[in-house]
Amino acid sequence: MKEFSFYLITDTHYFENSLGAYGKEYDEFMRYEQKCFAETQSINESVFSWLEKVDEADTVLIAGDLSFNGEKESHKGFVKLLDKLQESGKKVYVVTADHDFKEHPFAFNDTGRIEPEGTKREELFDIYNSFGFCDAIAVDRQHLSYVAQLCDGVRLLALNNDGSNDGRRRFDEEHIEWIKQQAAQAKADGQTMIAMNHFPILPCQPIFGLIGSTMQKESAKAATLLADAGVHIVFTGHMHQQSINEYVTENGNKLYDVCTGSIIADPAIIRLVTVKDENTVEIKSIPTPDFDWDTKGKTCKQYLQDTFDAMISNTLTDMKEEPKRILRKFGVKQTPVLMFAVRQAGKLLNSIKLGTLCRLLFVKCDKSIRQMKLKAFAVELVRNVFEGNQPMVEGTPKGDAFVAFLKRIKPILNKIDAKNFDGTKADLFDLLKNTAGNYDIDDYNAVLKLK
């Protein structure tokens, strides 16, 4: 087979700005929001303009959450961008996801929160028929999934997992049988099959293996299904995170989950993927280009990074100053005891320095970071988790301090009975260490051996 390349983006969350994204309630909403809202139309227009011009590949894959929240007008505006991209000579393949069919989306103006017209799930097949479904070699309309021949030798398994009857965002039994049939047919036809699925099959970072909402339900089952069927790489989104993870089944088959950050939130990445042969896939990462918006002179990267940092910083500030707001935001009952605990934790996080905390815990702390506020450290730690290639590894001042802290509380961690995504007992020390620091595959640029 010849080498084949394509671009991949995900979580475009296109919002038709004329619907309204301003006002007091909008500003309140954005205090805890990771991704942009009013800016998404401009960011998408910039990315699509860039994709129209680049010539290293003539195929573009988009891995779900195409609209902000299923606004009918947002779908119409996004389809115009897709049409224009195809007119430029690019072939476009999309999958939809749960943000694409909200019947009660929202927008904001000076009167407060308003509700534009929404979209039903059954409408999505017709809306996006021209971008994968219409020339597919196999279609599962019920599950909004299809198979497309990307080139001679490479076949795409485009999956949507939000249609199971129990609403659990998993592959139901009918879908599983269809997937097996398509994978078997690809193998019989001598095709390398790659997959695209909005929800991560594997946890993006180790700690997220404990949180079911961060990945596909029954993820270990799904990973085994794909890998043992001969599909060894899947491109995902949903988490707005940058990561590449590997899973090996009991039969010794690999699955790589390449999760890519949303283009409208930090880290905002475009992937350039090259299938070099049936066993080798090369991944390159390209920053999202700057966009037409008043960013106060900041680059796209800095603007989106500051938006992310503000979300974490606002959360930590409000723990101290407005614990009611924090509990209300996360849907937790506002009891006096809990509000007191949140406020005290907030006071500690917002005031204490790393050097002071390390002295209290009898943990060694390099003098270069002793004056750093614990709040600033926490913001950086969380952002690193989403940006990938987390730098807090052993051998660095921050990494050494974090690992020393984990060693101090390891007896407590060992008493916590937690399960990994695959049902095995979780080693919380190891999970936290490898979440703060990346000791494995480069999350941005890598050459993956599929077998």
Tell me what pLDDT residue 41 has: 98
Q: What are phi and psi of 212, to 5 degrees?
A: -60, -30
Answer CATH for 4-292 from 3.40.50.720, 3.40.309.10, 3.60.21.10, 1.10.20.140: 3.60.21.10
In this predicted structure, the answer to whether residue 167 has a pLDDT above a threshold of 80 is: no
Distance of CA 179 to the CA centre of its chain: 23
**Which amino acid belongs to residue 301?**
K
Across 318-326, average pLDDT: 91
- pLDDT digits 0-9 by tens, 349-401: 999 999 999 999 999 999 999 999 999 999 999 999 999 999 999 999 999 99
pLDDT at 161 (0 to 100): 86
Q: 228 and 249 in contact (C-beta within 8 Å)?
A: yes
Per-residue pLDDT at 162: 85
Residue 361: count of CB within 10 angstroms of its CB: 14
Strand order in the sheet with 269-277: 91-95, 59-63, 4-9, 269-277, 280-287, 446-449
Percent of the chain's residues with pLDDT above 90: 93
What pLDDT sits at residue 166?
67
Q: In the structure, what pLDDT confidence band is assigned to residue 212 with cuts at 50, 70 and 90?
A: confident
Phi/psi of residue 27, nearest 5 degrees: -60, -40
Residue 287 has pLDDT above 70, yes or no: yes
pLDDT at 240 over 90: yes
Q: What are phi and psi of 364, to 5 degrees?
A: -70, 140
Confidence category of residue 329, pLDDT binned at 50, 70, 90: confident
Ramachandran category for residue 95: left, alpha or beta (phi over 0 → left; psi -120 to 50 → alpha): beta
**Where residue 333 falls among pLDDT bands split at 50, 70, 90?**
confident
pLDDT digits (tens, 9 = 90+) for 88-132: 999 999 999 999 999 899 999 999 999 999 999 999 999 999 999
Cα first-last separation, the chain: 17
Is 332 a residue whose pLDDT tops 90? no
Residues of the chain with CATH 3.60.21.10: 4-292
CA gap 22, 418 in Å, rounded: 42
Q: Is the pLDDT of residue 165 over 70?
A: no
| pLDDT, the chain, mean | 95
| 164 pLDDT above the threshold of 70 | no
Neighbours of 414 (CB within 10 A): 11
Q: How far apart are CA 65 and CA 198, in angstroms?
A: 8
From the list 413, 2, 450, the residue with the least C-alpha distance to 226 is 450
pLDDT of the residue at 318: 93
